[in-house]
A and B are shown apart, each in its own frame.
Chain A
Amino acid sequence: MKISLKIYRFNPETDIKPHYDTFFIEANPMDRILDCLNRIRSEVDSSLSYRMSCGHGICGSDGITINGIPALACQKLVKDYDYSRELLIEPLKYFPIIKDLNVNLESFFQKIKNATPNIIREKVFGSIENERLQSIKERSKIDDAIKCILCGCCVAACPVILEQEPRFVGPAAILRAQKYIFDSRLNDSNERMKILERSFGIWGCKSYYMCTIVCPKKIKVTEAILKTKKKIIQEFHPKSG
């Protein structure tokens, strides 16, 4: 069968403003959206730019916007959409667009870095006689956070970032910090929480749940943020809670 994809195009070398190209290609309902993009690049227009790596939703390269919603091109299949109509393919929102679907994620990784500084107290290779113990229950507190693949979909869906405060640290970075704050093996959660409390930090989150809705790894992001807020209140502001 034939489907049609309307794709956002921008080449900084030649274009003053972006435009859309529509491609009609042969596809199956079980094809990944990434397969469709690859077909366009190899058969129709080799200048189409987008990133990809693992092709099965674990590396986080191919976050794009499909019909207005952030998703991984390799994790969504044609059948997941109403393919009798045109599919709208755009880059992730919020991030600066470099070319076509390629955005600049530098600010994303910088925020991740800022939210998780000094991860290792001692030297990276400290005393290594024995493993530290951690109960199954303790470990389960970070079960969700370790699923994150840093694709940026949550940030590109966050109404706070898109409409209110672009400097907001964003869901992914808070989740990364949550992984360390709730890790029973570490004893520096207070310092980490203080960092999250800084301006444009965790209190910017208004619990719109968009991060949770779009997360390709089905992480309960908002819940993790709420748990972190609760812990911060318990530790630092017991009376205001």
Chain B
Amino acid sequence: MRSINKLIHEYDVVVVGGGIAGLYTALTASEQCKVAVVSKVHVMRSHSVAAQGGIAASIGNEEEDHWEWHMYDTVKGSDYLADQDAVKILTKEAPNAVIALEHMGVPFTRNKQGKIEQRRFGGHTKKYGEGPVKRACYVSDRTGRAIMDTLYDCCQVKGIDFFNEVFVLKLLFSGAHCCGVAGYDIANLLPQIFHANSIVLATGGGGKIYKTTSNGFASTGDGFALALDSLIPLQDMEFVQFHPTGIYGLGILISEAARAEGGILRNGLGERFMERYAPTLKDLAPRDIVSRAILNEINEGKGVDGKDFVYLDLTQMGKEQLTLKLPEISSFVQTYLGIDPNETPIPVAPTCHYIMGGIPTDQDGHVLSNERGVILDGLFAVGECACVSVHGANRLGCNSLIDLIVFGRRTGISAADHTREKELPPLPQQAENIVRDTINNLIDSSGKESVSELRETMQQTMTNACSVFRNSDELEKAKEQICQLKKRYLDVCLRNKSKTFNYELLELLELINMLKVAEAIVFSAIQRKESRGAHYRSDFPERNDEQWLKHSLVYVTPEGFRINYRPADIAWFKPEKRRY
């Protein structure tokens, strides 16, 4: 456990973020060196625990499957923006990754042969799109939780040190070499400095930028902001996934597994509308397509009772299957809506779920400092905060968990290797003073703005202008509003001056991070004048491969954001029109 009094902690590898990506990277690196995980919540409260449906791998336990099919589906699902050499690695290494998890102890749900059971999932097909395939390995509907539990226990055995409830404020550099992070202990505001040869960012996503999200309260895009602050670009930030089936109003996720197990989306007229949008895969089309279809139905007045939701109908599944395959979801619906999904359809609407973009990395987790692919010495990124890119413009369900394991392993190896190859550079002088000054300045603030009000305005702005459907006018307005908010937070008032678990301060720091990320998303979305994957521009409704089959990299400069591009790797599958 952490030692509160020590100020500087020296390790070989320091991982920021303790979700599945962070823990898997830490475990892999710990085979070779001394590792610490720094997390702003207790690691077991990381949002990976909320992953429900499964982890994709073509192990073929239920029917014929091949990594090449998985690769094709992932590329097509990404609307051809994913880098195909990276997708090849993801899908080819996926079966071994799942088997490795099984050996570490993940209690996968089993089929009649005693093998890991697999089920269908959105966009995963056989024979290059012919029909759905059973590719998702799972632990009922608590796959993320089960993987986290297993990895956490493994980390204990390997002697990995956890620094829980430490918030990281800054990456530290020695010249061009990233060699540390500076943060503070949330329990007492004391600076905590971590000094290591390899720093890994595994900070997850930022769904809290939006009003309705499946993400937890801690998903505030901190890693994206740390990168921007260090003048590292963010790649493809315009691509934000809205999961089609969040519980109406709350945004809590109802896994795609619900549709894989037979659930059907119905509009206010009772129609199975997905038949019209995706004749082959129907309800199991990729998420960008289903989310747009739901909102189309709603915009045409075919929401339930003319309102802004549709129904997810699980009533044909039967009580036994519901209890067996979707126990958590059934209980969420019972708890928060007071309805029995066996008898009553569930009101759902799209909810912000996943950020496809992130800190650009190569296939071994090295952070890239520009569009030419120059590696930033000492810094690594993995998981949702990273962008390899295997998800391109739209991620398929179950591909995030496999991303965390495959690239967690690769990043762990390269972070450990890097540590051995280099002398530990000195820390910048007085790193702790940076932390003290930042905290004291904010604690002493006595303006007139409140953190919660600014946050709500940002969430409303992003939801209105930068969700499933976007257009130039709304985006420009949002950009202006975010700029206003960035000015307004300078005039914030922190009423809570306490040094013990000061959550008003934490929420202000998170808000500052979220505003930076929101601005990066809006800026990238304005630039991309086409529709691809999750980025749909009503004013440019077609995909435009000639001009836009490329990754955008957004940089912070003294004059504001700047954008550059690098080509996407399309070596294997040539872009085609996406039909499902």
A42 to B96, CA, bound (A): 47
B154 pairs with A124, CB closer than 8 A: yes
Chain B residue, CB-CB nearest to A105: B42
Complex interface: stretch among A81-89, A144-152, A194-202, A221-229:
A144-152
Complex interface: stretch among B68-76, B83-91, B190-198, B500-508:
B500-508
A113 pairs with B156, CB closer than 8 A: yes
Chain A residue, CB-CB nearest to B27: A124
B216 pairs with A11, CB closer than 8 A: no
Complex interface: stretch among A125-133, A153-161, A206-214, A232-240:
A125-133
Complex interface: stretch among A16-24, A47-55, A162-170:
A47-55
A41 to chain B, nearest CB (A): 7
A77 to B528, CA, bound (A): 43
A128 pairs with B41, CB closer than 8 A: no
> Which residues 11-43 of B sit at the A interface, judged by CB distance below 8 A?
27-28, 31, 41-42
As a 0/1 sequence over residues 48 to 77 of chain A, the CB contacts with chain B under 8 angstroms (1 = contact) are 110111111111110000000000000101
In the complex, whether A178 has a CB less than 8 A from a CB of chain B is no
As a 0/1 sequence over residues 112 to 150 of chain A, the CB contacts with chain B under 8 angstroms (1 = contact) are 010011111001111111111111101100100011111
Number of A-B pairs, beta carbon distance below 8 Å: 174
As a 0/1 sequence over residues 23 to 38 of chain A, the CB contacts with chain B under 8 angstroms (1 = contact) are 0000000101000000
Complex interface: stretch among B108-116, B418-426, B555-563, B565-573:
B108-116
CB-contact partner of A11 in B111, B328, B498, B504, under 8 A: B498
Q: How many residues of A contact B (CB 8 A)?
A: 67
B503 pairs with A135, CB closer than 8 A: no
Q: Give the most central of A102, A126, A180: most B CB within 10 Å.
A: A102
A46 and B47 contact, Cβ closer than 8 Å, known pairs A77-B335, A136-B110:
no
B154 pairs with A60, CB closer than 8 A: no
- What chain B residues lie within 8 Å of A133 (beta carbons)? 113-115
B217 pairs with A55, CB closer than 8 A: yes
B142 pairs with A119, CB closer than 8 A: no
In the complex, whether A93 has a CB less than 8 A from a CB of chain B is no
A49 pairs with B115, CB closer than 8 A: no
Chain B residue, CB-CB nearest to A133: B114
B44 pairs with A60, CB closer than 8 A: yes
As a 0/1 sequence over residues 32 to 60 of chain B, the CB contacts with chain A under 8 angstroms (1 = contact) are 00000000011011110110000000010
- What chain A residues lie within 8 Å of B499 (beta carbons)? 13
A113 to B187, CA, bound (A): 23
In the complex, whether B372 has a CB less than 8 A from a CB of chain A is no
B110 pairs with A135, CB closer than 8 A: yes
As a 0/1 sequence over residues 437 to 480 of chain B, the CB contacts with chain A under 8 angstroms (1 = contact) are 00000000000001110000000000000000000000000000
A58 pairs with B49, CB closer than 8 A: yes
- What chain A residues lie within 8 Å of B496 (beta carbons)? 46-47
Chain A residue, CB-CB nearest to B327: A147
- What chain A residues lie within 8 Å of B146 (beta carbons)? 146
In the assembled complex, 10 residue pairs joining A and B whose CB atoms fall closer than 8 Å, in A order, are A48-B503, A51-B41, A53-B216, A55-B216, A60-B45, A100-B501, A102-B501, A109-B42, A124-B104, A136-B110
Given contacts A54-B217, A146-B142, A150-B44, 7 further A-B contacts (CB under 8 A): A32-B336, A42-B451, A56-B336, A58-B49, A105-B42, A109-B42, A146-B145
B interface, CB within 8 angstroms of A:
1, 27-28, 31, 41-42, 44-47, 49-50, 59, 96, 98-100, 102-105, 107-116, 139, 142, 145-146, 149, 153-154, 156-158, 187, 216-218, 250, 252, 328, 331-332, 335-336, 338, 450-452, 494-496, 498-504
